Every structure is written in C-alpha cells, then in structure tokens.
Structure 1
Amino acid sequence: MQPRNVSMSGVVDLAAVKAAGEAKQKAEQARADAAERGGSAAPSGLVIDVDEAGFEAEVLQRSAEVPVVIDFWAEWCEPCKQLGPVLERLAREYAGRFLLARVDVDQNQMLFQQFGVQGIPAVFAVVAGQALPLFQGAAPEAQIRETLDQLVQVSEQRFGITGLPYVPEDGAEGADGADAVRQGPPEPPEDPALTAAHDALDAGDLDAAVRAYKDVLAADPANTEARLGLGQAELLARVQGLDAQQVRKEAADRPADVDAQLRAADLDLAGGHVEDAFGRIVDTVRRTAGDDRERARLRLLDLFDVIGGDDPRVVTARSALARVLF
C-alpha cells in the first residue's frame, strides 16, 4: 500500500492536520488496550525488518501510535553499514519514542519506488500515516539526533503521539524492585504561542497563523517548527483562490513574467510537485536580473522552508541556485 502524501514533505506535512484527530484517538485506544492487558504496549523490539507485505500493518497502522523511522538499506551499501548501527543504537536509547523499520531495497523494489528514494542509505518517517523524508546518506550522529528530536516533538505536539512504553529486554529492575521503564529524551514543554499558531493553521485561519508563527520566531528565531509552519501558512495563503488552469496557462504563455512563474511554482509545491516547483524558480532566476532575480531567489528560499533544509531535494536545488547565481 502506498503511503499518503509521500511526495509532499517537511517535518510537518501540509496534509497532516487532517489526520491529527484520528491518529490521536488511535494512540489513546492503543494505550487503553495495553492497560487492560496489564502489561506494556512495547513492541517485541524497537528495530524491525519490514517488507512490502507487512508494510501496512507494521508501519502505516503502527504510525498512529509511534513515529516510525524507515531506514532504506542494502547489503552491498557501505554507508548503510555505517548508518544502520547508529540508528539501531538510537532506537534503543530513545526507548520507544520512535520505532525503527529497516527496508532492504533489493528485496522491496516497490517500496523503494513508492517513496521516491534517489539513493541509499535514505531515511524517512511515517507519522499518522503521513510519509516525510528525513535525510539521505550516512549523516553525522549530531544531525541525526537533532532530526529525531524534531520528529518526536512534532509527533507529540501535532498528533498527540508520544510513542510506546518500553521495558528493557534484560528485565532490569529499579531500586523499588519494579521493572525499569526507560523513558528516552524528556518531553519538551509545550509552547502556548506555537500551539496557538498550529491551531490557527488547523482551523484555516491563515492570516492568524502567519501572525502567530511570526510572533514565535520573533522570540525564538531558531525555532524550526515555527519556520516550517510559517512557510506552509504563507504558501496556502498565496494559492488560496487561484485558478490552477489559468495560472499554468499564464506561466506557459509568459515565461519571462516572474509573477506568473512564482504563482505556478506555488501551485506545484502545494500539489506535491517539489522538484517542478524548485526547477521552475531556478530557471526564472537564470533568466532574470536585478529586482526580478532577487524576488525569485527569495521566493525559492521561502519554499525551502516549507520542505525543510535537510530534504535532499532542497540540497539539490540549493546547489542549482548557487550555480546560476555564481
């Protein structure tokens, strides 16, 4: 089964808000079921091997309870052998805050193609049935930790998904004689201003969402979640009410019209055609000069914020932009 919205990404998916309520209900039900069983809701392991046949049950369904991090790898891939042990160790360290699913691309070509994987190792996440790319290649551990922390935070704040309780396999006991439950990284405190911004975006009040995200960034310019949210709110505000057919006709008829190209790029991105949107604006930067070129360049940077700086498509587009500028 193909995951929904796999082509539209970023730490917070544009379509993810639609699944938030359902995901939260499923997570609460899973915890209630575990409590009735009188035991832990922990999986048999925090690292699982997944194939195409088991993808829906082991990844899509479980993503309503715990963020699932997918590691696309192959036996012949040397960088995969460097990254894999790091991810497995972090899965144990985070202790149920995410589940690591390993996918052998040689044995699961359909999944490889559905996710649009360009090369391996490649790491994606699925949260509440929504797929998003995290990073590609054997990234430094510090970068991996930062990405996982963001994933855990967004899963909790946007979906109420806090992961599964995990009892260590060695049955370690605490000082009181009870089974020790490892909690993983501490839960970040809820930011009321960021919550208000998310609520406005969920309600479709885009003007209020933009103002709220800007307020958060004024106080905390490094807040990645607020920057992503602001990019999404501004994008949705720009495409609201546009006639897609007319916009695309104008862009085709007037290739030198910067405004026409930017409107078409916004529609491309909102529709999940990320590479098309980036390529259109890079071409516009190449063909223009002065204020028009600067306007196109700044819009491309805005769209990078919608997707997230670690996405490989953003990395590729940044390189293309640098080539046409310098």
Structure 2
Amino acid sequence: MIELGGTQPQPQGGGDLIKDVSEATFMKDVVEASQEVPVIVDFWAPWCGPCKTLGPMLEDAVKAARGAVKMAKVNVDEAQQIAAQLRIQSIPTVYAFYQGQPVDGFQGAVQQSEIKAFVDRLVQQAGGAGAAEGDGLDEALTAAEEMVEKGETNDALQVYQAILGEDEKNARAYGGLVKTLVAMGSVDQAESVLNGAPAEIATAPELEAAHAQIALARQAENAGPVADLQAKVEANPDDHQARYDLAQALQAAGRTEEAVDQLLELFRREKEWNDGAAKTLLFTIFDALKPNDPIVLNGRRKLSSMIFA
C-alpha cells in the first residue's frame, strides 16, 4: 500500500528535460518551451498516491526520448489558478502541450506501455519520428503539395493517388489527398476517403489536420456575406455572434489570418461566450494548417498569452 503524503520523488538525471513548474514559470517552461518540442505536464499533489507511481514512469519515458519531449511537473496545491484554467478535476492528470496549446492527454495511472505510446505520438506529431524523408516518395509528396498551393488540384490528385498505390499507409499522402478534395469542393468524397484511412495512421497529425479541414469546409457551407457581417460588427462591436459569423465567412473566403484576428478579439472580449466557441474554432483552424505556419505560430502565441495572463 502506498503511503499518502510526503513529496513526489525528484527526477534523477533529467536535467532541463524535467522541471518543477510554478504559476510564475508556467508560461516560459510550458507554453513557450512547447514551441520547440512537446512538453508533457504532470499535474500532481503530495497527497496523491497514484501520482507517485505515474510520475517516475513519465520521467523514464521522457528521458528515453532523448530530448524529443520535455516534462513539467505542476503541484496543483501550489498552482491552483493554472489547474482551474485547464479544468483539472482529478489527479493525476497529464497534458501534452505543443506549439503553445494542449494537444493530447489522459487521466489516472496507466501502464508503462500506454505512456510509451503517448510519448511516441507526441514525437511523431513534432516530426521527430516516422518521417518519410529520403524514401523516394518525399519529393513526389512535396511536388503534390506545391501543386495544391498553385491550384493544380487535378494533377495533385493523381500524384497522391499514385503514392497511396505504392504506400497505402502514407499519412502525408492521405492528408494531402483529403486537402486536395476539399479544395476541389468534394467535401463528401474527402470525408469518405478520410474515414477509409488505415487504423494504424488514424491519429497521425496529417489526418488530424484533414479532419479540421473538413470541419472548416462544412462550416463554410453556411457562411454569410463578409461585407454584411463586417458592417454588423462595426455597428456593434459587442455582437459576439456577428463577429463569430464574420470569422467563419472570412475563413471560407480564404482570409484565414483575418478570421483568426476576429476570433482572438472575440476571445479577448468574452472568453466563455457560447461555451468557448471562439477558442474551439481557433484550434480547428490551427489544426488545419501546418504547425510552422506563421498564422498558427502568431495565433497560438496571442491566444496563450490571453489564456495564461
């Protein structure tokens, strides 16, 4: 039986990979640090028995990743404001932050194998493993992505289909194919393709982005006229629904950066409006773009500063 109370064991040999984080250092050691590599945040308390088992297991997995991820330990008794902001209702709770926001997590004590799978997913999402660089298909994938950007969707479609004929579990090709179909207006077909992706790559970042792209395309189907909505917002800046609708319309028109600006302004004015709809749509837009897109980097930074201010 594990005795309650006492303090959580300190990491041995973790160096900068594993840190105790307070409310004062959370922004620097978690939000900002996650712009470079994923940061696993372990929410614990000295009186929590399962935390004493989970903590060392997480530390071992982080050390084994050799710098591909970092770990921050947050004592919820001493960081109650952070715990409340992230709605931590029970411990142990583990969140993974990447590019400034939570991207994965779990609650309760889990097996070492599940922790390893959790860390592996984060490493893959950050591009640290499973990349297809130099495998003969990478050049074709890059060419197809450039075709989509130029509007050469029919050519890109053929390239992606050919790649999947060679490698049916290529997540990057699946994601590219879905994006191409969405760009062509074939949203139903894109959704069908995504639903048929192999289970082994179902949680790959490229497919997560594809889900977000389809969600945005569905919302775009009901977007109103941009000019009319802009006029409504200018007439009444506190009309949150009009501002939200304007953001949707701007996104549908391909004016993503403006859409993000409107959602950030809505979040600044009323964070919890419509159950946090502004933040939810922001996350969907961020997920649909590449992690290193300037719109994503700037948007996440501004959103994080408002969340953790």
Normalising by structure 1, report the TM-score. Answer: 0.48
CA 1:143–1:112: 2 relative to 1, 3 Å: same
Provide the residue aligned with 2:76 in structure 1: 105
Q: Tell me how far 1:44 sits from its aligned partner.
A: 3.6
1:242 aligned residue (190, 198, 222): 222
Are the equivalent residues in 2 in contact too, given 1:73–1:102 (CA < 8 A)?
Answer: yes
Point out where structure 1 has 5 or more consecutive residues left out of the alignment. 1-42, 157-161, 163-186, 247-266, 275-305, 307-326
How far apart, in 1, do the equivalents of 2:79 and 2:181 lie?
Answer: 39
Q: Secondary structure of 2:171's partner?
A: helix
1:86 aligned residue (57, 60, 63): 57
Are the equivalent residues in 2 in contact too, given 1:197–1:208 (CA < 8 A)?
Answer: no
Provide the residue aligned with 2:89 in structure 1: 118
How far apart, in 1, do the equivalents of 2:20 and 2:186 lie?
Answer: 43
Are the equivalent residues in 2 in contact too, given 1:206–1:236 (CA < 8 A)?
Answer: no
CA 1:216–1:231: 2 relative to 1, 3 Å: closer
Deviations 1:99-129 (A, max 9, x none): 0100000000011011111211111111111
Q: Secondary structure of 1:48's partner?
A: strand
Point out where structure 2 has 5 or more consecutive residues left out of the alignment. 1-13, 142-169, 225-240, 243-273, 282-287, 289-309
Provide the residue aligned with 1:222 in structure 2: 200
Q: Tell me how far 1:60 sits from its aligned partner.
A: 1.6
Are the equivalent residues in 1 in contact too, given 2:38–2:123 (CA < 8 A)?
Answer: yes
Aligned ranges for residues 307-318 of structure 1 at < 5 Å? none
Find out whether 1:132 has 2:100 as its counterpart.
no
Find out whether 1:152 has 2:123 as its counterpart.
yes
Are the equivalent residues in 2 in contact too, given 1:69–1:125 (CA < 8 A)?
Answer: yes
Percent identity for Structure 1 against Structure 2? 32
Aligned ranges for residues 1-326 of structure 1 at < 5 Å? 44-156=15-127, 162=128, 187-190=129-132, 192=141, 193-196=170-173, 198=175, 201=179, 205=183, 207=185, 215=193, 218=196, 220-225=198-203, 228-242=208-222, 271=278
Normalising by structure 2, report the TM-score. Answer: 0.50
Are the equivalent residues in 2 in contact too, given 1:194–1:213 (CA < 8 A)?
Answer: no
Are the equivalent residues in 2 in contact too, given 1:213–1:229 (CA < 8 A)?
Answer: no
How far apart, in 2, do the equivalents of 1:215 and 1:68 lie?
Answer: 32
Structure scoring higher RCO (CA < 8 A, sep ≥ 6) equals: 1
CA 1:188–1:239: 2 relative to 1, 3 Å: same
Are the equivalent residues in 2 in contact too, given 1:47–1:99 (CA < 8 A)?
Answer: yes
How far apart, in 1, do the equivalents of 2:74 and 2:175 lie?
Answer: 33
How far apart, in 2, do the equivalents of 1:189 and 1:142 lie?
Answer: 22
Q: Secondary structure of 1:66's partner?
A: coil
* Superposition CA RMSD, Å: 3.8
How far apart, in 2, do the equivalents of 1:74 and 1:144 lie?
Answer: 20
How far apart, in 1, do the equivalents of 2:188 and 2:194 lie?
Answer: 10
Runs of 4+ with deviation above 6 angstroms: 267-270
CA 1:194–1:222: 2 relative to 1, 3 Å: closer
Are the equivalent residues in 1 in contact too, given 2:37–2:70 (CA < 8 A)?
Answer: yes
CA 1:230–1:207: 2 relative to 1, 3 Å: farther
